[in-house]
Amino acid sequence: MSLIAELASFVVGAKASGLPPADRERLALHVADTVVAALAGANIAEGRALQEISGSDAGLASQIGRQAAAARLTEIDDIHLASCTTPSAGVVPVALRLAAHFRAFDPDDVANAIWVGTEITTRLGLAINGPAVLYRGIWPTYLVAPVGAAAAAARMLGLDEMRAAHALSLALMLIAGGVGRIHGTPSGRWFLYAQAVAGGVAAALAARVGYAGDAELLDKTWLADTHGIALDRDALIDKRGAASIYSSLSMKPFCSAKQAIAAVEAFRALLHEGVRADAIDKVRVRVPKAYAAMIATRAVPGARQSTMVSVAHQLALAALAPQRLYDVDRSAPDVDAAATQLAAKIEVAPGAALESFYPQHWPAEVEVQAGGQIFRRRVIEALGDPEHPLDRTAVDYKAHKVLDPLVGAANVDEWLRLCHDALNNGAACERLADAFAGAAGAAAQ
């Protein structure tokens, strides 16, 4: 059996109902978390710009891709650290939109599609060693997005193993992981990601009507020959279906590149213990070498992505305007003199002592010099990581902090009710799927 055929067998046959209760609960929480991200993204300028590309006339696959990109651009969606992929943004919108389009509201079918899409996304990220290729200029999430989307779509479409294999193969031939240095707003990254997810959905729709791929693609040297990437076959298929990836996924507690979150948490802990922002003379942030240069970048006015990557900007917000950590818009980054002055006191350097924890964890050590004293805090496992997971209360809190300014608290409560009930029965699943599809239509107007 070819490698793709083995993956297709999992995509067609895996049942989320067989997962342990804790994993099923995590799956449902990730659905809610992703819907919140998609709503937030759709209600800011950069997300609305996606809808302006072709308006409401775009096909179903393109509409799904744009909702996925709206979730991804917020930097509040989930992430799998070991594979360096953000799976749910590219999978949950696929399942919900196809459920609404084809009027297929069996909650088990929707959960199955979300699980297999998430599993394929993260496994492929592991198989290509996502954390390593990221710093070669390859965006792992973008590279694997067509395949994860195709897996979820194939399951929602009820494809048999042969057609599911063709869907995965066609999606693989769409991958294009490398991206250039994209500047400006709206960022071309989100257009590219939307196209990647849309391509995966289209691949499944094509396979449904008989289009064929190359089921032996991954048994050859194709990936190395075309993309210069080695494939770890065992990471892709070992023990598939025996457990789920949900116990290994991280959720973000606020809006930030994941590489900066441990540093923000460590700094906030020092502030909570009594370090005063106005007494700070110097802050040193140490992280693994792989991402030290990335988070050392400075925030650029008008470039919202830079405000989520810059750890100096994030720490300044944590000290002086903590509510801004939940602001997914960031279109007008804070240029208050106090924030600018504090950010200027923050430097980033590689920390050799942290290397052994990466990439299973993305740690940070923060050293603050204030009032003639030195204060230190190290965070290896950040809030939202598997060791400290966000529960339903924390997910709801985050939803309100992010969405209340955008859609109002009452609407947030209603969306959370829809999300938390959706996988319990068909009627609840229908309500969420239709509301999610309707939100995409409203954003396009």
Predicted confidence at residue 441, as pLDDT, reads 59
Does residue 366 sit in helix, strand or coil?
A: strand
pLDDT given at position 300: 83
pLDDT in the model for residue 52: 81
SS3 1: coil
DSSP codes joined into one string, 263-305? HHHHHHHHHHTT--GGGEEEEEEEE-HHHHHHHTSPPBTTBHH
Each residue's pLDDT tens digit, 337-373: 888 899 999 999 999 999 999 999 999 999 999 999 9
pTM (two decimals):
0.94
Which residues face 138 on adjacent strands? 178
Which one, of 192, 188, 214, 218, lies nearest residue 203 by Cα?
Answer: 214
Q: In what helix (H) or strand (E) does residue 134 lie, and over which residues does it extend?
A: helix 130-134
DSSP element (H, E) containing 377? strand 373-379
Residues, the chain? 445
**For the chain, what are the domain ranges?**
3-253+387-444, 258-379
- Per-residue pLDDT at 243: 79
Q: Looking at the predicted structure, is the pLDDT value of residue 332 above 70? A: no
pLDDT tops 70 at residue 444: no
- For residue 15, the model assigns a pLDDT of 95
* CATH of range 3-253+387-444; options 3.40.50.2300, 3.40.50.150, 1.10.4100.10, 3.40.50.12280: 1.10.4100.10
CB 160 within 8 A of CB 12: yes
Q: How far apart are CA 371 and CA 392, in angstroms?
A: 40
**pLDDT average, residue stretch 61-77:** 96
Q: Who's near 316: CB < 8 A, 6+ residues apart?
A: 334, 339, 340, 342, 343, 346
83 touches 141 (CB < 8 A): no
212 vs 298: CA distance, rounded Å: 47
Closest to 89 (Cα-Cα) out of 100, 101, 78: 78
Mean local confidence (pLDDT), 285-314: 92
pLDDT digits (tens, 9 = 90+) for 140-188: 999 999 999 999 999 999 999 999 999 999 999 999 877 777 666 778 8
Amino acid at 130: G
With both helix axes pointing from N to C terminus, report the angle between 161-172 and 188-208 in degrees, rounded to the nearest 10. 150
The CATH classification of domain 258-379, taken from the options 3.30.43.10, 3.40.470.10, 3.30.1330.120, 2.60.120.560: 3.30.1330.120
Tell me how crowded residue 198 is: count the other CB atoms within 10 A of its CB. 26
Helix (H, G, I), strand (E, B) or coil at 74: coil
Q: Residue 245: in which H helix or E strand, if any? A: none
- Per-residue CA distances from 422 to 27, 78, 416, 419 (Å): 11, 19, 10, 5
Rg (CA), the chain: 21
Per-residue pLDDT band for 432 (boundaries 50, 70, 90) equals very high
**DSSP for residue 158:** T
Q: Which pLDDT score, from 0 to 100, does residue 443 have?
A: 55
